[in-house]
Copies of this chain bind each other. A is one copy, B any other.
């Protein structure tokens, strides 16, 4: 059973302050400005989730990787057969998640969404499976009804530049009140080494109505798509890249690389320079069209080629790398960093950059905001380290509140709850130490829970 006081520091004075602050934000609607939930869940009002394994285990790469790390094969875990057996196996190994964010999110989801208060283990597994399955059959558990129950004010999805946003169209025309907006993700057409890049360019031509024969028409097509995404409610873009390198190529250089890519003759250096150029271009377009730019660098994706070739992407083998921002972002910031109408939200998997590079950039440039702790750092300790290392130098108002960044729809409330508790606990710590006063703390806990994200993503 989830303790009401969970996660808070035990000092009685800090704890009671934290509880007071948390009470101010516990029930605030959720702002989810960056995530990976599938919009198709919401286009059919009668859509249902499948079984517990399909819902909670198989799409969650955090969970899969931990089981795999202890010798459980993906063949077993990802099988479409015998979900009850897979659930049993999972439950018997649920002790592996002790003290991990996955363990915390799952426990929270089970209790908050499915009223499961018993600890998941081999013994309780069958009963809990049944309890979840029964819930999933009830009309209260359609995605749309859960969206309302969870109290989501706005949910941003992530959508390829070539996406027609069909499900977003259906949702909008359905008259349903849930606000679900797309986010423009250009990586599939800006990363020359992305799988299917060549086909993606053809699709980009088709959906944009712009015949792409060279770099200039490619840029026009991208601008068309951004405009379309904006018309569908998007307020932001999202770019991933191995490195945050940015560079302005001349049109001639960019076109030469682009032509080589069209002919399948791109080199790794070409690809790296083109990506750097496209990050620069995305910033330029954002200055023009007002879409907030997000940058998520530093992950070595699909690191385990055996797993990737057998089971595809997002299977727990994206491994972070040391990441450099100061030099890499310089060209972009020289051109656009002083623009007050431009917002660049930076993320990192390399926590050493918090106090060294990111907080100092965010605390000086009007354009730069710092995104919340990302991925492996979206955890109780990750948040504590973030508050500790970022806030004194960046200032709270140069951060972008919280993102859940999840494809696991049911983990959204758990993730926001951890953040809201972490924020309340941190502010309570400052308050009992006399660094801030109660009025500051009350303002800031609401900002951290919702206000900063709304402002940074232009969602109000």
Interface residues, chain A, CB within 8 Å of chain B? Answer: 2-3, 5-11, 13-14, 65-66, 68-71, 95-101, 104, 119, 300, 303-307, 316-317, 319-322, 324, 326-327, 330, 333-334, 337-338, 340, 349-352, 355-357, 359-366, 368, 376-377, 379-382, 385, 388-389, 391-393, 395-398, 429-430, 432-437, 440, 443-444
Contact call B319/A357, Cβ cutoff below 8 A: yes
User: Contacts A6-B433, A304-B333, A351-B355 given; 5 further ones with Cβ under 8 A?
Assistant: A7-B433, A70-B397, A100-B393, A320-B357, A320-B360
Given known contacts A13-B10, A68-B364, is B2 in contact with A434 (CB within 8 Å)?
A: yes
> With A and B bound together, what is the CA distance between A392 and B101 in angstroms?
6
> With A and B bound together, what is the CA distance between A14 and B10 in angstroms?
8
Contact call A69/B362, Cβ cutoff below 8 A: yes
| Sampled A-B contacts (29; CB under 8 Å) | A6-B435, A10-B11, A10-B14, A10-B429, A68-B364, A69-B364, A69-B395, A99-B396, A99-B430, A100-B392, A119-B437, A300-B327, A303-B333, A304-B334, A307-B338, A319-B360, A319-B364, A320-B357, A321-B324, A321-B356, A321-B357, A322-B352, A351-B352, A351-B355, A360-B376, A376-B392, A380-B392, A380-B435, A385-B388
Given known contacts A98-B440, A338-B306, A392-B100, is B433 in contact with A356 (CB within 8 Å)?
A: no
Identify A304's interface contact among B319, B338, B392, CB under 8 A.
Answer: B338
Least distance between A287 CB and chain B CB atoms (Å)? 14
Cβ–Cβ < 8 Å partners of A395 in chain B:
66, 69, 96-100
Least distance between A268 CB and chain B CB atoms (Å)? 14
Identify A435's interface contact among B68, B99, B321, B340, CB under 8 A.
Answer: B99
Contact call A99/B7, Cβ cutoff below 8 A: no
- Most chain B CB atoms below 10 A, which of A66, A322, A432: A322
User: In the complex this chain forms, how many copies of it are found?
Assistant: 3
> With A and B bound together, what is the CA distance between A337 and B304 in angstroms?
9
Cβ–Cβ < 8 Å partners of A100 in chain B:
391-393, 395
Given known contacts A355-B376, A435-B6, is B360 in contact with A440 (CB within 8 Å)?
A: no
Contact call B99/A436, Cβ cutoff below 8 A: yes
Contact call B392/A381, Cβ cutoff below 8 A: yes
> With A and B bound together, what is the CA distance between A398 and B97 in angstroms?
11
Cβ–Cβ < 8 Å partners of A382 in chain B:
355, 392
> With A and B bound together, what is the CA distance between A413 and B115 in angstroms?
47
Contact call A381/B377, Cβ cutoff below 8 A: no
